[in-house]
Amino acid sequence: MIGVLLMGRYRLEERIGEGGMAAVYRALDLRTGHRVAVKFLRQELQANQEFLDRFRREATAASRMSHHNIVNLLDIGDNPSAPYLVFEFVDGKTLKEIIAEHGKLPQGTAVQIAIRILSALRHAHEAGVIHRDIKPQNVLVDRQGYIKVSDFGIARMVDTNTQDGESRQSVMGSVHYFSPEQARGETATAASDLYSVGCVLYEMLTGRMPFEGETQVSLAMQHLQAEPRPVRELAPEVSAAVAAVVHKALAKDPAARYPSALLMAQALHDALLPEKDNKLATMSDFRRKPRPKIRMRTRHTLLTGVFVTLLAIVLLLGVFGGAYLIYRDVVNTTRTPLLTGYLLEAAIREAEQDGIIIRVARNPSDEPVDTVIDQSYDVGTPIKRGDVLLLVVSSGPARKPVPGLLGKTVSVAKSQLERIALEILVIKELINPAPKGTVLSQEPQEGTVVDAGSIVQLVISAGQTVVPELSGRVWTETADILRKVKLVQGKVSEIETEDVTQHGKVASQLPVAGEKVGENTPVDLAVYVAPAQPSPNPKNEGGS
């Protein structure tokens, strides 16, 4: 299928994945120049109604969502005999591959990944979609570190038939990560997805899945009856607060888990705060530690002149050392502010007050345009003044109408398109009375719905002016004359003449006088000069 062109737009380049249900190809979107992923239902399954239903369900679920932590649906194939879906292409690895490479992840990294998975699930749940198959294989990490949840192939829409045509006893999801209620064949809920996130977080922190078994039945029974080994037995460096969140997420009873993805994400955020673990320690634990006995020594020999001198040196060093630490940790260091949810302009003002430099990346999302949806440093993280904080800013939905740009300057049009993640391409400049840089036409037209990253082609005005008559003028004066009518002096060539009255004057020009041209057009000149004098021949001097 390599080289096949779909819908006159998507050219298949490479097969990049295959599962039990579908094959995935990387393709080039000829309209935008961007890479996309095209997912085909396997040929041998296209006659199977159950798998066709799952494939359509994935399209339905994906079409309900547009979120920066979800692999967004871009298009749906128009071939009923060979259905396919077009998704954004994520250039990176699965979380499963990353765990396999590292064994386990640092606590902060693991928690931040989990929070982003929960952000995706919050959006899905609010859209009435239960994923039912959260696992590291379905979490993608791109080369910039963005997290994307994929594969809603067995998702359930809560406002439709709860069984989706499946039997009550069918078990949906991956056995290492599905919830006790899924193991019993019951209907999955939002709490089921949170249990799966708990399994994924457990694996990130410990390098091991919560339960291991030789058969799917034995694994399912463990989800129903067994407790996993405590996180801190396998990873002592994990804080008690983070381990407590994992424990709550893995509760057998759905009612004992977090009520929502948002509240679980908040609990993880709070668990990273340094004082959280201190609250878990009790005063009785502290009292059980024996107090050291202090022996008082009164020998005069300790207060010798040498000791006093050394003490003075230590104190002096302490003053300078303390001053350095204050500068490093207080004067030149601040705490990363919470900017998520701010509008970009307000976020920049807030950051600049602390001396933080802002860089912006834009991503499609369901949040309003210019809303900050993510930041590269977590809230409260120490950051030096002058350091760069990357803000991910919403560019609006993944599909959006093209705004009207006619009559605007190209710089205003560029800024307006960048805000909503559309690209600008000036394809032509026309001589026109409108001020230079004014948009004269656009393609696609205003109101056309396009994908994020699409290119909007513009024809703009080159301005218009009339070439003045320069023939007969002293050529050194022409630069000022041209500047006044928004033209520039071009090439200057020389024409020799014996007429000394013409030397230094313009003989001809191109474009000619009276011609209408665009602003900043160069005007080439031919200028009269004196003939070059032959150089004397030294061989003829003095005769021979």
Domains of the chain, earliest start first: 5-88 (3.30.200.20), 92-275 (1.10.510.10), 333-394 (3.30.10.20), 399-461 (3.30.10.20), 465-529 (3.30.10.20)
The answer on pLDDT for 299 being more than 90 is no
Could you report the per-residue pLDDT of 91-124, keeping only the tens digit for each? 888 899 889 888 888 898 899 899 999 989 998 9
pTM, 2 dp:
0.51
The mean per-residue pLDDT over the stretch 154-159 comes to 57
Catalytic residue list: 133
Pairwise pLDDT comparison (172 vs 47), residue with the higher score: 47
pLDDT reported for residue 78: 67
302 pLDDT band (50/70/90 cuts)? very low
Q: What is the rounded distance in angstroms from the CA atom of residue 495 to the CA atom of residue 483?
A: 24
- With 0-12 / 13-18 / 19 or more C-beta atoms within 10 angstroms meaning exposed / middle / buried, residue 14 is exposed
In terms of phi and psi (left: phi > 0; alpha: psi -120 to 50; beta: otherwise), the region of 266 is alpha
pLDDT reported for residue 536: 65
| Mean pLDDT for all residues in the chain | 82
- With 0-12 / 13-18 / 19 or more C-beta atoms within 10 angstroms meaning exposed / middle / buried, residue 451 is buried
pLDDT reported for residue 216: 86
Lowest mean pLDDT among 132-136, 280-284, 443-447: 280-284
The answer on pLDDT for 535 being more than 80 is no
380 pLDDT band (50/70/90 cuts)? confident
E strand residue ranges, 226-363: 333-335, 357-363
Lowest mean pLDDT among 19-33, 164-178, 296-310, 476-490: 296-310
pLDDT reported for residue 338: 85
The mean per-residue pLDDT over the stretch 487-498 comes to 94
Rounded to 5°, angle at Cα 240 from 236 and 246: 95
Q: What is the rounded distance in angstroms from the CA atom of residue 268 to the CA atom of residue 278?
A: 16
The mean per-residue pLDDT over the stretch 300-327 comes to 44
Structure tokens at 315: 């104190």
Q: Which residues have CB under 8 Å from 95's CB, separation 6+?
A: 113, 136, 137, 139, 140, 141, 200, 204
Could you report the per-residue pLDDT of 334-357, keeping only the tens digit for each? 778 888 888 999 999 989 888 899
Express as a percent the part of the chain with pLDDT over 90: 46
pLDDT reported for residue 21: 73
